[in-house]
Structure 1
């Protein structure tokens, strides 16, 4: 994926300013920055949830900018939003089955089984309502729901937020495993988590790309001065 000179305005605010970066066919790219830097706004623009003012989002050589969210999912984007946004009134099984069906996933039953294998705890709660799960269990369900669409690019917004350490460790293991075969775009406030699994990083500051590079220099002062660490 290539993001080219992306601009976005919200009301009178210029929230994203000429944002450009690329994401490879596999591996993990971390989007870092302080609160209000534009990280979640960027992901929502990539998914078509928010409109952009100018610029382009290119996927497999073709522009996606005009496509609605559901078309981007069918093109290969999987999305785990901040706050999880599961269907609280539906069971775990229904959450996964609806996502697989709506995305047009080939062999939906196998796709669901593969996602559950990564997070066995949600398989044990198959008939439980999503709203009755703990925060960490809901996050695992949210990630699994994105994976049943069999994405080529998995976009995660703050997957460790409000999650207990044991589940954070499992999420880290899953993302590390997945990054060997698909592309991951990760927004994360937990610096050590991001550094442990990312191959590349992009730091946003006031809606602009302040610095980017490989994780070998992610611990540098040039990066940390833009972060709340």
Structure 2
């Protein structure tokens, strides 16, 4: 159940955000998209999810071309996108947000105990880190086949962030996350890394290989 882009191009008006990007995420395991703002990493997630159309190339899921499959149908087939912003329903309580995904939200509270005393609070009143916990908790409850997350640990404490990466890495799913920097919790893992720069892939390899290359570049 590999999720991949093949020579993907995306345009926002006159600007091309992806210049023929090819990458693949395995059916089980963690893939990290690295890049600064404007590198195209968020656009890659949106292209995989179907929330932005391709102007060239293809999206292939488990061997099938889903380029023209709309986002809601990809979601029904088991794809879950957690965007960087507006990932929860702010006017609903924490409990209601969780129950929209699954009636039994016990596993979500086990993953993020900090949410338990906040169940009756409107999600829009939570801190940024708490909202990320809620968004990730909903993703965990969804039991999705493909999980796409933009900056999963934004606003979280180091301990909660480490727990978040542990949870994502342990999912029985294809997990793709977008980050500006490789999180310390993933340095020693077998996570696969794609580094993007100005809409193109400039590195593809395991996290350890990327770190060695980064250390070499720093020493130049």
| TM-score, reference length from structure 2 | 0.88
1:222 CA displacement = 6.2
Deviates more, 1:27-36 or 1:78-87: 78-87
Number of residue equivalences? 215
Task: Look up the match of 2:173.
Answer: 182
Q: 1:55 to 1:125 in 2, by over 3 A?
A: same
Mapped contact 2:47–2:59 kept (Cα < 8 A):
no
Mapped contact 1:160–1:188 kept (Cα < 8 A):
no
Task: Look up the match of 1:26.
Answer: 28
Question: What CA distance in whole angstroms lies between the structure 2 residues aligned with 1:224 and 1:210?
Answer: 15
Q: 1:49 to 1:65 in 2, by over 3 A?
A: same
Match of 1:217 among 200, 209, 216: 209
Task: Look up the match of 2:124.
Answer: 131
Match of 1:109 among 95, 103, 107: 103
- Residues 34-78 of structure 1: CA distance to partner in whole angstroms, max 9, x if unpaired? 221111111112111111101111112212211222211111111
Q: 1:196 to 1:79 in 2, by over 3 A?
A: farther
| TM-score, reference length from structure 1 | 0.85
Question: What CA distance in whole angstroms lies between the structure 2 residues aligned with 1:164 and 1:18?
Answer: 36
The SS at the match of 1:220 is helix
Question: What CA distance in whole angstroms lies between the structure 1 residues aligned with 2:25 and 2:99?
Answer: 29
Question: What CA distance in whole angstroms lies between the structure 1 residues aligned with 2:134 and 2:27?
Answer: 25
Question: What CA distance in whole angstroms lies between the structure 1 residues aligned with 2:57 and 2:181?
Answer: 29
Match of 1:195 among 180, 184, 187: 187
The SS at the match of 1:56 is strand
Q: Map 1:130-169 onto structure 2 (within 5 A).
A: 130-169=123-162
